[in-house]
Amino acid sequence: MNNVYIISPSYLIKKKREFTAGVRQLSKLGFNVLNPHFPTMLPSPQEKADQIHHACADTGTDMILALRGGYSAMKSLPFIDFDHLRKHPKIIAGFSDLTALLNPIHERTGMVTLHAPMLVSLNAPTAFTVGSFMNAVRGYPEKNLFHGAPVKVYRHGSAAGILKGGNLVTLTALIDTDWEMETENSILFLEEVDEKLHKVDRALTQWILAGKLKGVKGIILGDFGGLKSREVFQILASQMELGIPVVHCPHIGHVPDKITMPVGAEVELDTRKKQLVIRKLELPGVRP
């Protein structure tokens, strides 16, 4: 896997030097950026979808990587041709606002997508982030996604399911739309940034009232941008019976040390071993 196509599904990078640094870092990691031109105009929702269509159809593209997050990726959902993506499978990677694309694309095409660093995240990445990202694009030879990461257990247990999740507010915004995430039989991971506790409380309460957590097999709380993970856990524990494993891993989210999570992979969460192990995964274009 060598060729990377950069898309702008959310917002733009304001400083060209950050864009250049990200391209340079990808080059150091052995990737070739096919379109290394600094974007200065935000695409329309249709144009954002067209970027994805073009990158998928390009036989020279190995991975589609988001420029950055922010907001507005969900506006492109009505314009995405999921049949086209299914016929031309590519790795699609990003996080934060990209959560709005990663989960629907998996659910509608069967492709595993990557909750991963974006170009802006790679301008000065930590060794941990690079190691996890490279492990991902190589097909996850290291199967334990929590390898080298701290894990705090709130409810012990073990469970298997399909790994889904990402940014809490973004996923909440998709509830009661055509692109609402299916949570049945999932191992759900959630993260957030720059939100007060009462807003996280409101979002999680909506999930509970909407029945979105009833079929979940396990919950992974990532970083919540300065909020204490126990506070987030208590929002859940105070409103529902948690008979499933619940853990906190701070290396998921808007953090320097970031785990690249395969959305759509079959995984097993074991709190006694503090492991999240891939049981089954097929990445587009990557041999296991």
Specify the pLDDT at position 281. Answer: 95
Which amino acid, one-letter code, is at 212?
Answer: K
Rounded to an integer, the average pLDDT of 129-154 is 97
Give domain limits for the chain. 3-137, 152-280
- Which tens digit of pLDDT belongs to each residue from 80-108? 999 999 999 999 999 999 999 999 999 99
Where is 99: in which H helix or E strand? Answer: helix 99-109
The question of whether 191 is a catalytic residue gets the answer yes
CB 284 within 8 A of CB 87: no
The question of whether 107 is a catalytic residue gets the answer no
Confidence class of residue 288 from pLDDT cuts 50, 70 and 90?
low
Which amino acid, one-letter code, is at 234?
Answer: Q
Specify the pLDDT at position 123. Answer: 85
Please determine whether the domains at 3-137 and 152-280 fall in the same fold group of CATH.
Answer: no
- Catalytic pick among 191, 192, 195, 268: 191
- Which tens digit of pLDDT belongs to each residue from 49-90? 999 999 999 999 999 999 999 989 999 999 999 999 999 999
What is the number of alpha carbons within 13 Å of residue 100 lying toward its C-beta?
A: 24
- Its CATH class, for the domain covering 3-137, is alpha beta
Tokens of 7: 């898309």
- Catalytic pick among 8, 10, 76, 96: 96
Rounded to an integer, the average pLDDT of 152-162 is 98
User: In sequence order, what are the residues at sequence separation of 6 or more whose Cβ sits closer than 8 angstroms to the Cβ of residue 24?
Assistant: none
- Just give the CATH number of 152-280: 3.50.30.60
The question of whether 53 is a catalytic residue gets the answer no
Q: Tell me the C-alpha distance between 37 and 44, whole Å.
A: 18
- Catalytic pick among 107, 132, 254, 268: 254
